[in-house]
């Protein structure tokens, strides 16, 4: 038997002879630590609204701006991951928690980023007066709102579709709730969650302009970053600066693809739920580098031992008692819980009515309803078109791991590409050929959100069990029957998750897509997004609240009437299979 270099108690490791991998790994770690340190130092510098740092369009300033933007996005990603585990876990495990947490998540997803900024930026700035940390937290929170909901929906979907046999095996070993969470549920969810983390990071780029160049009424903030750089380039109509921004984004996306997401995809591949070995295994040069260096043993062995000891702890997410106790009937508890939720909604609705009622009229409500119906029609058509286009492409990519590795950075770049950079082209073509903005501005709404469908379908196809594919091939299931009986049922839960987040993202994107500008030229397509953007520029908070409330109602209604029934159907099919 081979001697193991790792011993669980009293970590013992046998270093390899030093090689070229060790200095390369150490340099990479030190470089990342230094960049993070520089970013953190800049995020705590003094700040004054009257003397904000001026944004320069020089290409030499872009490396610094790119570092600041990436720091904000990584901070938002960490916060989103913590939120995902803390929020989606009770929603996926408790029926009563699901009744309130998932509708709240629908509301949070439907509120546009400008809606959050309208009410939170003043709070964060006043929380840290005289420090840039306040505006930084406002920008990070805005980016967080473009990342967290997608990840939470993905983890919730995975918790709801854990195979029954794996769950029963875990319970048969008498694992606690804590152990079952880290040994079964998180590993099962990890392949899909990693792909949604990539999508969330890319989605953050789509809203980076709104997050860094903040304008709410008389309050204007411009934080050093790629988003502020792009906003100034659009204002100055500087196409050269736009090109430099695209180049900086491309380099940043390639770097975090190679240094972060490619290793995560290769690492998460071992958690695929299947009965046979995968035909092709995802690889990452950076992961192989650290695995074959002594640094991996020096750092990883103590951390791994600590995590294993923690996983052995007999901790449970809910206290259990062997003493029998009386509990009210299930129906009584459900009625009380629904009554509590209804009372809270009535109270919140009354508070909103008192806040905005004096400044609004039924004419305003009617106008917002018509604009909402117009945006709803656009979102429905665009999501349907994106599904028809990207589901077959996502399946083709996900079933070919080698091809996935090549396509991954390309899809990340396309997903991260802000539609704002296409505004000059859109404005020029519409004005040059006298096109209708009501129609030709619509594609900008789906440019950044269609990738939710693609990434989730890729995740579903990548996680599709190889044994089922082999069984379908042995029975010669071909063409439309293969799609109907094999692949569509297999990826359906992932597709529904992607479609929900894509539709919510399209609503969000309507804020920046239904009203676009290039210099002094401004085009408006009408709709609820244009209404909210107009009221945000004016600082009209009652009308902002009315627009956000109407958007929330429409998104929740669509989720309740369409997506949730499809979600339940997908869950039943997965459990039965």
129 lies in a domain? yes
Q: What is the mean pLDDT of the chain?
A: 76
Segment 290-315 mean pLDDT: 62
119 lies in a domain? yes
Does the pLDDT of residue 84 top 90, yes or no? Answer: yes
The CA distance from 57 to 61, in Å, is 7
107 lies in a domain? yes
pLDDT of residue 355: 63
Output the CA angle 105-109-112, nearest 5 degrees. Answer: 145
pLDDT of residue 11: 44
Count other C-beta atoms under 10 Å from residue 402's C-beta: 11
Is the distance from CB of 124 to CB of 144 less than 8 angstroms? no
State phi, psi for 521 to the nearest 5 degrees: -85, 125
Query: Of 408, 420, 492, which Cα lies nearest the Cα of 201?
Result: 408
Does the pLDDT of residue 247 top 70, yes or no? Answer: yes
State phi, psi for 215 to the nearest 5 degrees: -135, 110
The CA distance from 81 to 186, in Å, is 12
Is the distance from CB of 440 to CB of 382 less than 8 angstroms? no
176 lies in a domain? yes
Looking up residue 533, the CATH number of its domain turns out to be 1.10.3720.10
157 lies in a domain? yes
User: What would the DSSP string read from start to end of 64-86?
Assistant: HHHHHHHHHHHHHHHHHHHHHHH
Alpha helices in 50-128 (DSSP H): 62-93, 95-110, 113-127
Is the distance from CB of 394 to CB of 461 less than 8 angstroms? yes
Where is pLDDT greater, at 233 or 103?
Answer: 233
Is the distance from CB of 88 to CB of 193 less than 8 angstroms? no
The CA-to-CA distance between both ends of the chain, in Å, stands at 40
pLDDT of residue 176: 75
Where is pLDDT greater, at 386 or 470?
Answer: 386
SS (H, E, C) 403-423: HHHHHHHHHHHHHHCCHHHHH
497 lies in a domain? yes
Distances (CA, A) of 286 to 162, 202, 251, 289, 534: 31, 21, 17, 5, 47
Does the pLDDT of residue 83 top 90, yes or no? Answer: yes
The CA distance from 49 to 216, in Å, is 14
Low-confidence winner among 114-123, 170-179, 422-431 (lowest mean pLDDT)? 114-123
Contacts of 532 (CB under 8 A, 6+ apart): 112, 114, 115, 511, 544, 547, 548, 551
Number of separate domains in the chain: 1
Where is pLDDT greater, at 536 or 115?
Answer: 536
Segment 134-141 mean pLDDT: 86
pLDDT of residue 2: 40
Distances (CA, A) of 80 to 1, 24, 140, 206, 525: 44, 31, 11, 17, 33
22 lies in a domain? no
DSSP letter at 317 equals S
The CA distance from 466 to 481, in Å, is 18
Segment 515-523 mean pLDDT: 76
Does the pLDDT of residue 111 top 50, yes or no? Answer: yes
pLDDT tens sequence across 390-444: 999 988 888 887 777 677 667 766 766 666 667 777 777 888 888 888 888 888 8
74 lies in a domain? yes
Where is pLDDT greater, at 214 or 273?
Answer: 214
pLDDT tens sequence across 3-39: 444 433 444 445 555 566 667 777 777 777 777 777 7
Domain coverage including residue 124: 47-269+360-576
């Amino acid at each position: 038997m081979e001697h193991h270099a790792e011993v669980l108690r009293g970590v013992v490791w046998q270093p390899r002879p030093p090689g070229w991998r060790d200095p390369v790994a150490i340099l990479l770690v030190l470089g990342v630590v230094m960049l993070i340190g520089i970013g953190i130092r800049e995020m705590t510098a003094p700040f004054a609204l009257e003397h904000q740092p001026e944004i320069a369009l020089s290409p030499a300033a872009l490396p610094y701006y790119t570092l600041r933007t990436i720091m904000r996005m990584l901070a938002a990603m960490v916060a989103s991951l913590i939120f995902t585990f803390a929020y989606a876990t009770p929603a996926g495990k408790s029926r009563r928690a699901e009744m309130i947490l998932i509708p709240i998540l629908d509301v949070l997803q439907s509120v546009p980023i400008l809606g959050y900024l309208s009410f939170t930026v003043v709070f964060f700035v006043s929380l840290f007066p005289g420090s840039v940390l306040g505006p930084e937290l406002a920008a990070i929170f805005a980016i967080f709102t473009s990342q967290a909901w997608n990840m939470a929906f993905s983890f919730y979907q995975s918790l709801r579709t854990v195979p029954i046999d794996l769950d029963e095996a875990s319970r048969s070993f008498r694992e606690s709730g804590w152990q079952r969470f880290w040994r079964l549920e998180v590993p099962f969810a990890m392949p899909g969650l990693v792909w949604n983390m990539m999508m969330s990071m890319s989605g953050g780029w789509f809203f980076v302009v709104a997050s860094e160049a903040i304008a709410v009424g008389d309050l204007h903030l411009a934080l050093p970053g790629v988003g502020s750089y792009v906003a100034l380039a659009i204002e100055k109509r500087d196409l050269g600066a736009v090109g430099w921004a695209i180049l900086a984004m491309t380099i940043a996306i390639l770097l975090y693809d190679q240094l972060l997401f490619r290793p995560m995809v290769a690492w998460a591949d071992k958690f695929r739920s299947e009965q046979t070995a995968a035909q092709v295994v995802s690889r990452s040069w950076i992961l192989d580098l650290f695995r074959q260096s002594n640094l991996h043993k020096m750092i990883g062995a103590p951390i791994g031992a600590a995590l294993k000891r923690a996983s052995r702890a007999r901790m449970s997410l809910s206290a259990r008692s062997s003493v029998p106790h009386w509990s009210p009937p299930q129906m009584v508890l459900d009625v009380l819980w629904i009554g509590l939720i209804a009372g809270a909604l009535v109270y919140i609705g009354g508070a909103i009515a008192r806040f905005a009622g004096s400044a609004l009229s039924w004419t305003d409500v009617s106008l917002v309803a018509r604009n909402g119906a117009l945006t709803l029609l656009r979102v429905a058509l665009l999501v349907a078109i994106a599904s028809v286009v990207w589901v077959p492409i996502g399946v083709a990519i996900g079933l070919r791991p080698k091809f996935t590795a090549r396509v991954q950075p390309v899809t990340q770049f396309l997903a991260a590409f802000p539609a704002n950079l296409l505004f000059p082209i859109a404005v020029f073509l519409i004005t040059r050929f006298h096109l209708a903005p009501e129609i030709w501005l619509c594609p900008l709404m789906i440019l950044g959100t269609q990738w939710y469908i693609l990434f989730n379908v890729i995740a579903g196809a990548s996680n599709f069990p190889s044994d089922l594919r082999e069984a379908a091939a042995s029975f010669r299931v071909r063409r439309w029957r293969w799609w109907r009986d094999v692949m569509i049922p297999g990826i359906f839960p992932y597709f529904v998750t992607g479609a929900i987040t894509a539709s919510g993202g399209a609503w969000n994107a309507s804020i920046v897509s239904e009203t676009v500008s290039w210099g002094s030229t401004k085009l408006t397509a009408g709709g609820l997004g244009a209404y909210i953007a107009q009221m945000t520029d004016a600082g009209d908070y009652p009308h902002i609240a009315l627009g956000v409330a109407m958007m929330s109602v429409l998104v929740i209604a669509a989720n309740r009437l369409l997506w949730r029934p499809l979600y339940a159907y997908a869950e039943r099919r997965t459990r039965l299979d």
